Amino acid sequence: MKVRIMHKDSFAFTGADIDWEAIGMGPIGLVEDAEGNWYPLALDDRRHPHLVDADGPHELDRENAGPAIYRALDETCERLWGHSWNSAVGEIFGLNRRTTQRDRVSRYLLPPAVLQVVAYVASADDSQELAGALLALARYARKTGSKAEALGYWQNAADVFYGNAKDVIVGAGLAGPDLARKPV
């Protein structure tokens, strides 16, 4: 069984006409059937994987689907966060690191909302940048415990990068680095 982690709004996603709310499922990607056809892969609120075709959802055997979903998740997350993606995903979503390990994901999967966010990030044009930004923002949030403070730190980082904080950093009237300038 092959699985691809993919957001439902991705151009390659099949099943754009499915009413996900009506069937009570969250799409997380595509799954290949025995004949080599690709269909939407979705989870219900109990984390049970389903192939969804024109006849509706069909529950997949978790013993076969779980490891295939893990392999696709591993490939996707490694592209986004590198070899230590288990730690990054844990930080971003507040999950215990053990929860993101191969045997646990293969057996129990991750919450549908987590897999849907990973699918969204992976399908974004700026996937690696968005992944890095989410990790940085998760660290700010953990450090401050406050959404407003975390956003303040985030704004500070943008101000430093774009030179808006130059007077504070190097002093008024002094020339400072323009980090946003592209190398020549």
pLDDT tens, residue by residue, 125-164 = 999 999 999 999 999 999 999 889 999 998 888 888 887 7
Contact 59, 109 (CB under 8 A): no
pLDDT-derived band at 184 (thresholds 50, 70, 90) equals very low
| CA pair distance 24, 42, nearest whole angstrom | 10
- Kindly give the pairing relationship between strand 3-5 and strand 49-53: unpaired
Q: At what angle do helices 62-81 and 85-93 cross, to 10 degrees?
A: 90
What pLDDT, on the 0 to 100 scale, is given for residue 179? 58
What pLDDT, on the 0 to 100 scale, is given for residue 157? 87
Residue with tokens 């799954």: 31
Question: Residues 60-83: pLDDT tens digits?
Answer: 999 999 999 999 999 999 999 999
Give the closest residue to 68 by CA, choosing from 93, 15, 32.
32
pLDDT of 172 over the 90 cut: no
Residue with tokens 């974004």: 124
Q: Where are the beta strands (DSSP E) in 44-168?
A: 49-53, 56-59
Question: Residues 45-65: pLDDT tens digits?
Answer: 999 999 999 999 999 999 999
Instruction: Look up the pTM and report it.
Output: 0.86
Most confident range (mean pLDDT) of 93-102, 156-165, 173-182 is 93-102
pLDDT of 167 over the 80 cut: no
Question: Residues 2-43: pLDDT tens digits?
Answer: 999 999 999 899 887 899 999 999 999 999 999 999 999 999
What pLDDT, on the 0 to 100 scale, is given for residue 62? 92
Kindly give the residue spans of alpha helices, DSSP state H, lying in 7-101: 20-23, 62-81, 85-93
What pLDDT, on the 0 to 100 scale, is given for residue 162? 81
